Structure 1
Amino acid sequence: MLLLGCGKSDKEMAKFEELMGKPCNIKVVVHGKAPHVSFKLFSKAKEKAVTIFKEVNVLDEKKDEFSFSSYSGGKLSCELKTKDSYGPEVTISLFLNGKLWQEKTGRYNPKINCTIPSQW
């Protein structure tokens, strides 16, 4: 018995860029009114991993931003922790290729866990 078929699949195959991940630039900006904030970031895409642990003073004159390159489809985890749970609000802003992608505000422990999108 021989079966032959010809037709179009209902499901579209994934594009090569989506499977392999397209390069992208990520910028993280930390702002708010807390004097000392613990900042943790971990990103892993393909064979590239970025880890940042830093104590930042949000009230000083320095701009608190971190930039790095990654790939779409990768995982990103970003967290701020203030010393006081009833203290002032702090905000994490994530920019993907120069556009605001995600933002989270909180008094004690705002965090973002996400996958870097391929279409942005």
Structure 2
Amino acid sequence: MAHYTIARPDPANPPATDEGDQGSQPNVYMTLLVGSALVHIDVLRGEEEMGSLAGSPQVYLPRGDSRVFISGLLADGTVLEEGSYSLRVKALRIFGDEEKDEDWDVVKTVEFGIKYAS
């Protein structure tokens, strides 16, 4: 499992989720073969859902590559505790109904650890 030491995020001044250092900051790289009207990125601790990652959900993503950086901040402004996490990325299929589980493509990342710089 990879471990990252990152700056503690400030909920009053949240960092951009589309910018960061690929080598020193946890991130998820997505390649959409076709666009998606809705992409959710949820933070998991074990099997417990902690909430949506800051910057999630993303709407109307075009096909192609995108990267989202993890700053330790959830969409509701909660700062994650130091520890081990993984992400669940859910992309709604074309013409999909967001209420139907079978209309989502879902991928879970490997586990990673975060610690805040002192």
What TM-score, normalized by structure 2, do the two folds share? Answer: 0.41
- More RCO (CA 8 Å, sep 6+): 2
What TM-score, normalized by structure 1, do the two folds share? Answer: 0.40
Larger C-alpha radius of gyration, 1 or 2?
1
Which is strand-richer, 1 or 2? 1
